[in-house]
Chain A
Amino acid sequence: MHPAPSVIVFTTLSGLGFGLLIFLGLGLPDVTGMVAFVFFAIAYALAVGGLLASTFHLGHPERALKAFSQWKTSWLSREGCCAVGALVAMGLYGFGTVFLGTAWPLVGLIGALLSLATVFTTSMIYTQLKTIPRWNMPLTPALFLSFSLAGGALLAGQETVATVLLIIAGGVQLAYWVKGDQAFAASGTTLATATGLGNGGTVRAFEPPHTGTNYLLREFVHVVGRKHSQKLQVIGFALGFALPVLLLVLPFNGLMLKHIMAAVAVLSHLAGVACTRWLFFAEAEHVVGLYYGKR
Chain B
Amino acid sequence: MTELPNSTDRKMGLVIDLDTCVGCHACVISCKGWNTENYGAPLSDQDPYGSDPSGTFLNRVHSFEVQPQACGTQPAPAAQLTHFPKSCLHCEDAPCVTVCPTGASYKRVEDGIVLVNESDCIGCGLCAWSCPYGARELDLAAGVMKKCTLCVDRIYNENLEEIDRVPTCVRTCPAGARHFGDLGDADSDVSKLVAERGGFDLMPEMGTKPVNKYLPPRPKDQIEDQIDILAPLLAPVTGDAGGFMGWLDRALDKIPGGAN
Which residues of A are at the interface with B, using a C-beta cutoff of 8 A? 1, 57-61, 63-64, 66-70, 72-77, 80, 125, 128-132, 187-189, 191, 193-197, 199-210, 212-216, 219-220, 286-288, 291-292
Interface presence of B3 (CB below 8 A): yes
Would B122 and A196 count as touching, CB distance under 8 A?
Answer: no
Would A131 and B130 count as touching, CB distance under 8 A?
Answer: yes
Chain A neighbourhood of B214, CB < 8 A: 196
Given contacts A58-B143, A70-B100, 15 further A-B contacts (CB under 8 A): A60-B123, A60-B144, A63-B122, A72-B1, A132-B129, A189-B206, A194-B132, A195-B202, A197-B217, A200-B66, A201-B68, A201-B69, A203-B65, A212-B52, A216-B137
Would A209 and B67 count as touching, CB distance under 8 A?
Answer: no
Would A202 and B205 count as touching, CB distance under 8 A?
Answer: no
Chain A neighbourhood of B133, CB < 8 A: 288, 291
Chain B neighbourhood of A67, CB < 8 A: 101-102, 122, 124
Complex-state Cα separation, A149 to B56, whole angstroms: 42
CB-CB under 8 A for A220 and B202, given A76-B101, A200-B217: no
B62, B142, B145, B217: the one within 8 Å of A205 (CB):
B62
CB-CB under 8 A for A193 and B205, given A73-B98, A208-B62: yes
Chain B nearest CB from A101 CB (Å) reads 39
Chain A neighbourhood of B65, CB < 8 A: 203-204, 206
Interface presence of B134 (CB below 8 A): yes
Complex-state Cα separation, A42 to B258, whole angstroms: 95
Chain B nearest CB from A287 CB (Å) reads 5
A-B contact pairs, 21 of them (CB 8 A): A59-B145, A69-B101, A77-B102, A129-B130, A130-B95, A189-B132, A195-B64, A196-B201, A197-B217, A200-B68, A201-B66, A203-B65, A205-B62, A206-B63, A206-B65, A206-B81, A207-B63, A209-B63, A215-B138, A220-B129, A286-B129
Chain A neighbourhood of B69, CB < 8 A: 201-202
Chain B nearest CB from A192 CB (Å) reads 9
Interface presence of B24 (CB below 8 A): no
Interface presence of B28 (CB below 8 A): yes
A59, A196, A204: the one within 8 Å of B123 (CB):
A59
The interface centre, meaning the residue of B3, B80, B103, B214 with most chain A CB atoms within 10 A of its CB, is: B103
Complex-state Cα separation, A219 to B69, whole angstroms: 35
Interface presence of B8 (CB below 8 A): no
Would B100 and A129 count as touching, CB distance under 8 A?
Answer: no
Interface presence of B99 (CB below 8 A): yes
Interface presence of B125 (CB below 8 A): yes
Would B64 and A219 count as touching, CB distance under 8 A?
Answer: no
B60, B77, B122: the one within 8 Å of A59 (CB):
B122
Would B124 and A57 count as touching, CB distance under 8 A?
Answer: yes
Q: Please list the 10 inter-chain residue pairs (A to B) with the smallest Cβ-Cβ separation, ordered nearest first.
A: A59-B123, A59-B143, A209-B60, A201-B68, A207-B63, A288-B134, A77-B101, A66-B102, A67-B101, A76-B101
Complex-state Cα separation, A214 to B120, whole angstroms: 24
The interface centre, meaning the residue of A195, A204, A205 with most chain B CB atoms within 10 A of its CB, is: A195
The number of A-B residue pairs with CB atoms under 8 Å apart is 197
B3, B122, B128, B202: the one within 8 Å of A73 (CB):
B3
Would B66 and A202 count as touching, CB distance under 8 A?
Answer: yes
Interface presence of B84 (CB below 8 A): yes
Chain B neighbourhood of A220, CB < 8 A: 129, 134
Chain B nearest CB from A280 CB (Å) reads 14
Would B100 and A214 count as touching, CB distance under 8 A?
Answer: no
Chain B nearest CB from A131 CB (Å) reads 5
Chain B neighbourhood of A80, CB < 8 A: 101
Would A59 and B142 count as touching, CB distance under 8 A?
Answer: yes
Complex-state Cα separation, A59 to B118, whole angstroms: 11
Complex-state Cα separation, A117 to B65, whole angstroms: 47
Would A70 and B103 count as touching, CB distance under 8 A?
Answer: yes
A72, A131, A189, A210: the one within 8 Å of B3 (CB):
A72
Complex-state Cα separation, A209 to B128, whole angstroms: 18
Would B143 and A197 count as touching, CB distance under 8 A?
Answer: no
Would A287 and B203 count as touching, CB distance under 8 A?
Answer: yes
CB-CB under 8 A for A188 and B99, given A59-B143, A206-B81, A215-B56: no
Chain A nearest CB from B119 CB (Å) reads 8
Chain A neighbourhood of B201, CB < 8 A: 196
Complex-state Cα separation, A187 to B1, whole angstroms: 30
Would A213 and B217 count as touching, CB distance under 8 A?
Answer: no
